[in-house]
Each structure stands twice: as structure tokens, then as C-alpha cells.
Amino acid sequence: MELAERFAVEQREISVAEFFEKNRHLMGFESGPRAMLTAVKEMVDNSLDACEQALILPDIKITIVRLDGGLFRVNVEDNGPGIADTAVPGVFGKLLYGSRFHSSRQSRGQQGMGVSAAVLYSQLTSGLPASVITSTSPEKPAKKYEVRVGIHHNEPDVLAREDGPSWKNTGTMVEIVLEATYVRGRQSVPAYLEATALVNPHTNITFCDPFGETTTYEKRSRVLPPVGQEVLPHPNGVELGTLLSMLESTRSERILSFLINEFSRLGRHRANRLCTEIGIDPLAPPHDIARDLNKARLLHKSMRAIRVSHPTPRALSPIGEDLLTESIRRVFEAEFIATATRQPFSCGGYPMVVETALAYGGELQEEGAMHLMRFANRVPLLYQSGACAITRAAESVAWKRYRLERARNERLPRGPLLLAVHIASSNVPFTSESKDALSSTPEVLREIELAIKDTARLLRAFLVRNEQGEEKRRKAAQLRAYNREVATALTALTGSNPDMLCTSLDDLVDAHLPAEEHGDGGHRHER
């Protein structure tokens, strides 16, 4: 008894910020390179979302400068609508603050802790606050802030607030100093930015790296992606807990109207039948059901099971095959690109769409395994590839059937190949809080695999045509080489002019075997 009370005294509430300070890996800052990446990602995601919501074509500049003592200065500048004075403290100084956490439309923001996490991390490692300059209107000067996250109470700590420079347009610039490591290669900032540019062809991205090199990804589309609309939850996908809380808090007076108004795809007739089938009075108040756990369970079960149409894809914003193709062509200069978009399907009740692009040849690297790029809601997934449904689906394809070969120890085929898979959903099922990998539910795996196969089939047709064309080209080249020898031999036998004979032979070969072939994706070098 005494012991327990003594323990009770020691227990106290921990603030969210304190918790995360002690659990950096949950925020994505567990290693030097990861810290760098997460910081950039949060800041860039913020900018992209802000621009898109304001219907502005994003123009984002990222600068990373190496400082002493293992510190880096990361600066992200955008042409968004700016952040209102009242919102600045919360956005940068308070964890888990934001509008996007609640929405049920596709949003890249669902996948992050928010930029305040980066601010917290930077202040912990460098001691310096985040520096923010933002302008919401070109008529007024921009505002300059220095913000920190208040650790103990998770309240923003605004150290400075003053007028800033006069900018021509609205926009935001955020700068933090943090301890991190800058790397290049697979899971790095440059890779992330390249992938981001790929799936956001409407953006301009400029990147200045710590070595002073600048890379620019220019936008290829002047069309903003469609903003995913808000949709009501789909009956198949609702969790019991969610249903209960909805029943509690709904304003509907009857369960029937509750069902019709707060869920998609349920009309009067269907909702009526749902109730009568399980013995619930359609006119009963929802609160009653909420309190009767058995009834709620029954309702939940039949909602999960009811066969209604697929969730509406209006919530989704896929990239679009043309843009994807163009993006890949510009960034990777592939010779052949095939894309496929599956019909939207229901994943746990939420609409989901799979888009894939398979690229081959051109400037893609010959050696090594296929380069797999994973995306969820226009955000590149760089970590935990092994646990991801996309990787699993890609590895399970029988690539041999599509004329591609796997090396012995590898799971993906070899060659100059790029496979980009994008999942767009209003609720992406991740395997863990770190949101690096897609959960491998059977329907997700199946859809991804089918989408990959759609593109693989097109690639196979291309490879076959290419081989045949290649065969003809090879044969023609061989004959042309023979021609010289034949001309020399004939000259020895007949005394005729060898050049004349050679020309005749070349003409003969050209007549029978055309020199070049016109096919899809252009053709490669010759001679």
C-alpha cells in the first residue's frame, strides 16, 4: 500500500514535447542523415501544402550550409501565401498542431509530425531558435520571427517578432540550425528532392547543397493538381472506436439519418435495410446505440460487410500518366516509359488509387538492379523499403515473364530500369508511426502488383520489338561490314572497281534491310 502510494507521488504528467525530446526516433531524427532528411522534408512539405491550398504553383528553394561543430543551416523559401501572424507561433512552436491532421482528403501532411518537430530538434541540438520570415500581403512588409518550442508545456516560445524586409510577393522563409549529417546517394536530401520533383511536376525546386552546387528541377506543368475533396467515411472502413465516437457526438437524431448523412455511399434504402437486418430500429437515437456495446458491435460488423460502391475517388489526387511520363523523361531521360493507373479501390474503407510508371533504357544506369521509387500521396518514401507493400509487390512479380532477369541474390530484375509506384489515398495505411512503408494488406498488394504488371506488359512488347529491330540492325551492320570484303574479293576476280562494287552492295543491303527502324520511344545510337 505504502509502496504504491509512493510510486503514485512520483508519477506526473509528461508534456508531449518532453516525450519527444526523449524519443527522437519517433519523430524521425534518430540518426545524422535521417535528421537532415526529416527536417528538409517537413519544411518542404509545409511549403508545398501551403502553396497548393492557396492555388499557387510552388517555387521552392532549399539551401543547406555546413557550419562548424557538425551543425548545418537549413533554409527553405517558398512563394506560398505566407503564414498569418496568429498562426506562426502554433505552426512552428507547438507540436501536433495543424489543420491537416483531421482531414479525410488526400494530403501529404498526414505523414509528418509537422515542421515544429524540426524546430524542436534543431533547438535541442544547436540551441538556436527557428528563424521565420513570412509575408501574407505584398502591400505590407514581411514579418520576422524567432520561435522555439516550449518543451515543458508544449507551448510556443516566441523570442522575437518584428518587421522584416519588403517582399514583392507573398511567401515564407524558414531557417533552422541543427546537428545532422549531409549525405548523397539513396536516402538523402538530393534523392528526396529528385523524387519529390518527379511526383510534383507542377513545382519548381532549386537546391543549393553544402558543396555549393545548385540543382534545379523546373516545373513541367502549369496545372495545379486537383485538390482532393473532403469525403465522408466509407462504411466498409470505419473502426469500431471511431464509430462509437461518431455515434456519441453526432447531431443526427435518428440512426437512419446518422448513417445517411455521415457516411458515404449509404442511401435511405440501404441504410434502412442495414438497420432492419440487424434488428435495430432505424428511428432510434444514435446515442442509445453508442451506449449499447453489443448493438454497436453488430452495427459495426454489418457496416464493414455491406456491399456498396467503391469509395469515391474525388478525394484523391493522382499525378496523372502524362505528367508522370514527362517527369520521368525529363529527370531520367529514359528511352521507354510505360504508365498505368488502376481503378480506385477501397482500402479499409478509404479510396485508394495506384499509379505506376516503368521506365527503361536511355540514361538509366545499365548495371545494378531496378531502381524502385515509392511514393505515398506525392511524398517519396525513402526508408524501410523491405517492410513496404510496394517493395513486396514489386519483388513478387514474375519478371522473367516480362523478359527481365533477376540476378541471383537480388529480388528485383537487373538492367536500366526504373519503377515508380505512387499510392494516393485519403488514408494511407503505414506499417508504423514513422510512415516510411506501406502496410501489406492483401488488396493493396494485389492492386500494386496488377498495376506493375500492366506496365511490365507494355515494356515487354517494347523489348520484343526492340530486339527484332535490334536484330535487323545488327544484321544490316554485319552485312555492311561484309560488303567491303566481298567487294575486294570480287575485284580480285573480275577486275572491276571496288568502290563501285561496294556502293552496289550497300545499296543492295539498304534495299533489303532498312537501316533504321521507327518505333516507340525513339531509337538509340547507330554506328
* 339, containing H or E segment: strand 336-341
Nearer to other proteins, 284 or 490 (CB): 490
- Can residue 113 be called a binding residue for other proteins (CB under 8 A)? no
- Can residue 329 be called a binding residue for other proteins (CB under 8 A)? no
**Phi, psi (deg, nearest 5) at residue 240:** -60, -45
What the block records as the C-alpha cell of 25 is 526516433
DSSP string, 263-306: STT--HHHHHHHHHHHT--TTS-HHHHHH-HHHHHHHHHHHHH-
**Phi, psi (deg, nearest 5) at residue 357:** -140, 135
Can you tell me which of 477, 517, 520, 523 binds other proteins, judged by CB under 8 A? Answer: 477
From first CA to last CA, the distance across the chain in angstroms is 90
What the block records as the C-alpha cell of 504 is 552496289
* 172, containing H or E segment: strand 171-179
Shortest reach from residue 516's CB to other proteins, in Å: 17
Shortest reach from residue 472's CB to other proteins, in Å: 10
- Can residue 511 be called a binding residue for other proteins (CB under 8 A)? yes
Nearer to other proteins, 301 or 475 (CB): 475
What SS3 state is found at 489? helix
- Can residue 467 be called a binding residue for other proteins (CB under 8 A)? no
Nearer to other proteins, 67 or 489 (CB): 489
- Can residue 482 be called a binding residue for other proteins (CB under 8 A)? yes
Shortest reach from residue 473's CB to other proteins, in Å: 13
Nearer to other proteins, 305 or 500 (CB): 500
Q: Of 368, 390, 370, whose CA–CA distance to 444 is shortest?
A: 390
Nearer to other proteins, 308 or 479 (CB): 479
Can you tell me which of 190, 479, 515, 517 binds other proteins, judged by CB under 8 A? Answer: 479
Nearer to other proteins, 160 or 500 (CB): 500
Number of residues that bind other proteins (CB under 8 A): 26
What the block records as the C-alpha cell of 45 is 512539405
Q: Of 59, 20, 22, whose CA–CA distance to 202 is shortest?
A: 59
Q: Which stretch binds other proteins (CB under 8 A): 241-249, 385-393, 403-411, 488-496?
A: 488-496
CA distance 230 to 515: 56
- Can residue 514 be called a binding residue for other proteins (CB under 8 A)? no
CA distance 349 to 305: 11
Shortest reach from residue 478's CB to other proteins, in Å: 6
Bridge partner residues of 171 (DSSP): 135
Shortest reach from residue 470's CB to other proteins, in Å: 14
Q: Of 46, 58, 59, 55, whose CA–CA distance to 108 is shortest?
A: 46
Can you tell me which of 333, 508, 510, 519 binds other proteins, judged by CB under 8 A? Answer: 508
E strands, 382-444, are: 417-425
Shortest reach from residue 522's CB to other proteins, in Å: 24
Can you tell me which of 57, 272, 504, 520 binds other proteins, judged by CB under 8 A? Answer: 504
Q: Which stretch binds other proteins (CB under 8 A): 58-66, 98-106, 187-195, 478-486?
A: 478-486
- Can residue 512 be called a binding residue for other proteins (CB under 8 A)? yes
Contact 336, 457 (CB under 8 A): no
Q: Which stretch binds other proteins (CB under 8 A): 24-32, 354-362, 452-460, 487-495?
A: 487-495
Count, in order, helices (H) and strands (E) of the chain: 16, 14
DSSP string, 427-486: S--BSSTT--SB---HHHHHHHHHHHHHHHHHHHHHHHHHHHHHHHHHHHHHHHHHHHHH
Can you tell me which of 4, 8, 9, 492 binds other proteins, judged by CB under 8 A? Answer: 492
CA distance 232 to 351: 11
- Can residue 494 be called a binding residue for other proteins (CB under 8 A)? yes
- Can residue 489 be called a binding residue for other proteins (CB under 8 A)? yes
Residue whose C-alpha cell reads 519517433 in the numeric block? 26
Write out the binding residues for other proteins, residues 381-440 only, by CB under 8 A.
Answer: none
Q: Which stretch binds other proteins (CB under 8 A): 83-91, 211-219, 411-419, 479-487?
A: 479-487
- Can residue 515 be called a binding residue for other proteins (CB under 8 A)? no
- Can residue 1 be called a binding residue for other proteins (CB under 8 A)? no
Shortest reach from residue 496's CB to other proteins, in Å: 6
Contacting positions for other proteins (CB under 8 A)? 475, 477-482, 484-486, 488-490, 492-494, 496, 501, 504-505, 507-509, 511-513
